[in-house]
Each structure stands twice: as C-alpha cells, then as structure tokens.
C-alpha cells in the first residue's frame, strides 16, 4: 500500500511530527509513505483545506496513492473537501477508536485528523495509536463482526449513490478553477512523485495540460 501524507497551511509546521509517527507505524508493515507536504509553514506552495481535497482526489483517482492521511486545525474542513470528490471516502478521525471503526465499518481510503484541536502533550502518541488501529487489520471486516455482511451491503449502496451523484473526476478537474488546481498540485512532493506513481493515463494527461 502506498500512503500519501498531505498537510494544509495552518498545520504545516506539524508535518515532520506526523510523518515520523506515520512511518514508524506503517513501514514495518511493508507500506510506503509519500510526503506531499506542506513541509513547513513557509513553503512556497500554500495549500488550503480545499486544495487538500483536490490533491487527495487527484492522487487517489489516478492511482498514485492507495490511501491519504490529511487534516487541518479541526479536521472538518479537510474531511469535507475530500468527500466533495468521487473516488474518495474520508473519515474524520480523532482517536484510535475512530480509526479502527472507520476502517472496519466504512473501509474508506482517506482520513482527516484535527492537528490543532486537542493536540497537546502526547499528541504524537495519539497519532501513532491512530495509525496502528487504522491499519491493524484488513479494512471492511466489520465491527462488530456479526454485522459485517450488512455493513458491506450498505457500503455498496453508498457506492451506487455516489456514482449517480458525481461526475467522473477527469471532467471535474477540467472544470475547476485552473489556478486553484495548479496551486493544489504545486507541492514539491507532487513534482517528485506523481508522474512516476500515477497509473491513470487520462488523469495524468489532464494534470499535465493544467500545469503546463
């Protein structure tokens, strides 16, 4: 599994703390982490939480990432922005129990964490425990286990609803404000990783046409 880490501008200073906690947990599991920034509060590329959603959706829909770890001050804005796009199921995660139940019940592919709200002494430990419970088992096994079948059925119903509710992601990228999208795709990490990691040639072509 390839995991992308994305920070927006208000919490960019915590990027190293989050990256270290994430890699400590998932690298022994054989997972790969791509750090897309922001890396510091002073980065040239300044991502808003709306742009976090655009970047997350681009990575997931193109196949450049299998999972996205992101957030903002409260986690709410980043979660809403991510869920504005097809191909993204993002949970708002505050603690390890949230992480475990989201993974087992909803089997999403992104989480948004509050990196300012209640992030104090021991904050990095809470991150480690969140990541441990998020990936401790195969996603979608159900919790409690006896409800696994109905939970899987409900996820399928939601998938069908989203197919009707959303246009294809490529069309969305083309219609969004070009400067907004260019800003979302302007991080150093995007320039470093996207071209080699993305699997969808159609989305890669659209991205290239926007960035040229």
CA distances in angstroms from 173 to 12, 41, 57, 86, listed in the order given? 25, 27, 10, 11
pLDDT in tens, 117-140: 999 999 999 999 999 999 999 999
Question: Residue 90 in 3-state DSSP?
Answer: strand
Q: What is the pLDDT of residues 85-102, one digit of tens each?
A: 999 999 999 999 999 999
The pTM of the full predicted model, rounded to 2 decimals, is 0.97
Low-confidence ranges of the chain (pLDDT < 70): none
pLDDT at position 48, please? Answer: 98
Could you tell me how many residues make up the chain? 212
Instruction: Give the pLDDT of residue 169.
Output: 98
What rounded mean pLDDT belongs to the chain?
A: 97
Listed residue (68, 44, 4, 65) closest to 203, CA to CA:
65
Angle between helices 123-135 and 15-26 (to 10 degrees): 40
Name the token pair of 114: 């509050």
In the prediction, which pLDDT does 173 show?
97
**Domains by residue range for the chain, with CATH:** 2-211 (3.40.1400.10)
What is the pLDDT, as a whole number, of residue 202? Answer: 98
User: What pLDDT score does 150 carry?
Assistant: 97
Place of tokens 């948004």: 112
């Amino acid at each position: 599994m390839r995991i992308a880490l994305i920070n927006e501008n208000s919490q960019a200073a915590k990027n190293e703390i989050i990256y270290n906690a994430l890699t400590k947990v998932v690298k022994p599991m054989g997972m790969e982490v791509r750090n897309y920034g922001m890396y510091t509060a002073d980065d040239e590329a300044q991502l808003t939480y709306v742009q976090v959603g655009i970047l997350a959706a681009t990575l997931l829909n193109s196949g450049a990432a299998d999972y996205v770890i992101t957030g903002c001050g409260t986690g709410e804005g980043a979660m809403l922005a991510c869920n504005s796009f097809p191909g993204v199921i993002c949970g708002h995660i505050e603690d390890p129990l949230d992480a475990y139940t989201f993974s087992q019940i909803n089997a999403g592919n992104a989480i948004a964490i509050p990196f300012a709200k209640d992030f104090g002494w021991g904050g990095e430990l809470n991150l480690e425990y969140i990541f441990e419970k998020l990936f401790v088992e195969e996603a979608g096994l159900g919790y409690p286990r006896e409800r696994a079948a109905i939970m899987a059925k409900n996820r399928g119903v939601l998938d069908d609803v989203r197919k009707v509710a959303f246009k294809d992601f490529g069309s969305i990228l083309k219609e969004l404000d070009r400067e907004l999208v260019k800003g979302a795709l302007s991080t150093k990490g995007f320039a470093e990783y996207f071209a080699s990691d993305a699997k969808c040639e159609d989305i890669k072509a659209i991205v290239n046409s926007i960035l040229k």
